[in-house]
Amino acid sequence: MREEPLGEVSLRLLREVPVLESMRKHDPGGVAEILRIVENCAEFNRLHAEPKALEIDERVEMEPDYFDWDLARSACRYRLFSLVIPTVLGGLAGKYMLTAGALAFEELCSACAGIGNMIAATSLGASPMLTPGGMPHWDTVLHEMLEGEKKGEPVLMAYAITEPSAGTDVEEPHFLAHARLGMEARKVKGGYLLNGRKCFISGGKEARYLTVCAATDRNRPLETWTVFLVHRDMEGFSVPRVERKMGQRACHAAEVLFENVFVPDTNVMGYEGDGMSTGILMIMAASRGPVGAVGTGIARGVCRHFLAWARTRRNGSRPIDEPRIQMAVADMAASIQESRGLVLNHSLAGDAVFGKLLVNPLMKAIFALPREVRISRPYQSFLHSRHGKAMSARLLRMLVSEDDMTRLLALASLAKFACTDNAVAVASRALELMGTDGGEERRWVEKCYRDAKVTQIYEGTNQLNRLTYYEIEVGGGLRVELPSPR
């Protein structure tokens, strides 16, 4: 069979990421899938993100509530909300799900990290549902999201863990044990009543579903931290305000309020009290690497705009002809390569871990069941029952080891802090060299700097991620514990 000629983006990617070229020799189909996904993101950038990015950034500064729904609708056409949903469930994530996802988010964020984060916020919100504890929601909530995407009506999601009194504290078990939480989930007949606030929730204003972590006993936060699935129409849920942010303005960070929000037992993901593993550490082990990819993409964007600026003649000469500019370009390229290498270390290790889930015979048998069976009342009741929860916990333990997850978290944290620090450094250097030049390219780089700065804060501050890496790889004081069947 004749191979399709490769597009411009694929050729660039194969040149810049040589590991893909060697993977291609053994698995041309798998790599073709990655290239297709990145080509798709590049087209979305060219036709939709790039023409709007500066305008949205400026508009949100004046009008903080503004959200570009048209752009979200365009993202549906490229299936960008399905990037992390496995193909067996109808999404785009194949056996190289983390690698394809990382390169896709790098590509999206090379145009605009705010727009990239608008898409990533939904992926992050959906992530707890992709753990075995989220199995009951695969054919209901995830299906609704995929159907919405097909129709061009985005069903957005958000991930809510941060509270006004606890940010860093909720992302690490030792800190959560002593956190002073404001929010609580009280057990009542048939479910839980959620009361309190979460803040800085990306996409929280527009999300139809939020995965929310809360303690059922604020005096024992670590032991009772639990993952809940909340629909925005549940009574008592509201969004009082959005933050005024310095960067990534295309994606709101919202404060969300819970006033006696009743969440049924069926919306608890996994077991009560397992939130630190299924709601935080397992999610972060997968998602912090992609934040590194966001940083890599921002640095690429900076470099592109910096080069365009440097090639323009002003006062009779071009900055690119000066050695100090040439050296800066070389340093930027080194920084981008270093970042991408760290992201790929994480994603390839992650694909080896999560790939096992997709090819496991039991998982295959579950995926092979017709949807009517999977949404039937007896099957759903089984998944929500003690036996169903025990089965999903056993399945997870059978397929993934705590050592693998812990190692993955270390690689993810390393990529997260190093790549986002690199992005800030690259943008800062470019701005210094561009001086007071007031042109369009400088506006882009200034926006990239602001976009980069916030990546150092979310998904665990870079200080926390350094401590996480240290604790796992050197101190030995942190381990990802998987839920045990009860």
Ligand X SMILES: Cc1cc2nc3c(=O)[nH]c(=O)nc-3n(C[C@H](O)[C@H](O)[C@H](O)COP(=O)(O)OP(=O)(O)OC[C@H]3O[C@@H](n4cnc5c(N)ncnc54)[C@H](O)[C@@H]3O)c2cc1C
159 binds ligand X (CB under 6 A): yes
Pairing between strand 184-188 and 157-160? unpaired
What phi and psi values does residue 233 have, to the nearest 5 degrees?
A: -85, 0
Of 245, 249, 346, 442, the one binding ligand X by CB under 6 A: 245
Instruction: Give me the helices (H) in 154-281, please.
Output: 173-176, 221-224
Residue 163 C-beta: closest distance to ligand X, Å: 8
| N-to-C CA span, the chain | 52
Of 74, 123, 224, 248, the one binding ligand X by CB under 6 A: 248
Count of other CB atoms within 10 angstroms of residue 226: 24
Q: What token pair was written down for 420?
A: 């986002």
Q: Which is nearer to ligand X, 9 or 108 (CB)?
A: 108
What would the x/- binding string for ligand X be over residues 69 to 108, using CB under 6 A? ----------------------------------------
Q: What token pair was written down for 233?
A: 């129409």
Q: Which is nearer to ligand X, 406 or 455 (CB)?
A: 455
464 binds ligand X (CB under 6 A): yes
Q: How far is CA 365 from the centre of its chain?
A: 28
Residue 351 C-beta: closest distance to ligand X, Å: 24
Of 195, 360, 376, 461, the one binding ligand X by CB under 6 A: 461
- Tokens 């860093």: give the residue: 168
Q: Which is nearer to ligand X, 391 or 467 (CB)?
A: 467
Of the CA atoms within 13 Å of residue 244, those in its CB half-sphere come to 5
Q: Which is nearer to ligand X, 169 or 441 (CB)?
A: 169
458 binds ligand X (CB under 6 A): yes
Residue 200 C-beta: closest distance to ligand X, Å: 4
Single out the residue of 379, 387, 127, 67 nearest to residue 251, CA to CA. Answer: 67
Q: Which is nearer to ligand X, 179 or 325 (CB)?
A: 179
What would the x/- binding string for ligand X be over residues 114 to 153, using CB under 6 A? -------x--------------------------------
167 binds ligand X (CB under 6 A): yes
168 binds ligand X (CB under 6 A): yes
Q: Residue 269, SS3? A: strand
Q: Which is nearer to ligand X, 10 or 202 (CB)?
A: 202
Q: Which is nearer to ligand X, 10 or 122 (CB)?
A: 122
Cβ burial 302-337 (10 Å sphere, 16+ → b, else e): bbbbbbebbeeeeeeeebbeeeebeebbeebeebbe
Rounded Cα–Cα distance for residues 401 and 137 (Å): 24
Of 160, 176, 285, 418, the one binding ligand X by CB under 6 A: 160
Pairing between strand 209-215 and 268-269? unpaired
Angle between helices 386-399 and 361-368 in degrees, nearest 10: 130
Count of other CB atoms within 10 angstroms of residue 447: 25
Q: Which is nearer to ligand X, 257 or 434 (CB)?
A: 257
181 binds ligand X (CB under 6 A): no
Q: Which is nearer to ligand X, 90 or 279 (CB)?
A: 279
Output the residue with the shortest Cβ distance to ligand X.
Answer: 167
Rounded Cα–Cα distance for residues 300 and 42 (Å): 13
Rounded Cα–Cα distance for residues 429 and 416 (Å): 20
Stretch that binds ligand X, among 89-97, 164-172, 299-307, 332-340 (CB under 6 A): 164-172
Q: Which is nearer to ligand X, 256 or 395 (CB)?
A: 256
Site size toward ligand X, by CB under 6 A? 23
Q: Which is nearer to ligand X, 332 or 452 (CB)?
A: 452
162 contacts 151 by C-beta, under 8 angstroms? no
C-alpha radius of gyration, the chain, whole number: 22
* CA dist list (Å): 294 to 132, 136, 153, 447, 448: 27, 31, 25, 14, 11
Residue 203 C-beta: closest distance to ligand X, Å: 7
202 binds ligand X (CB under 6 A): yes
424 binds ligand X (CB under 6 A): no
What would the x/- binding string for ligand X be over residues 203 to 242, using CB under 6 A? ----------------------------------------
Q: Which residues bind ligand X (CB under 6 A)?
A: 121, 158-162, 167-168, 171, 175, 200-202, 245, 248, 253, 454, 457-458, 460-461, 463-464
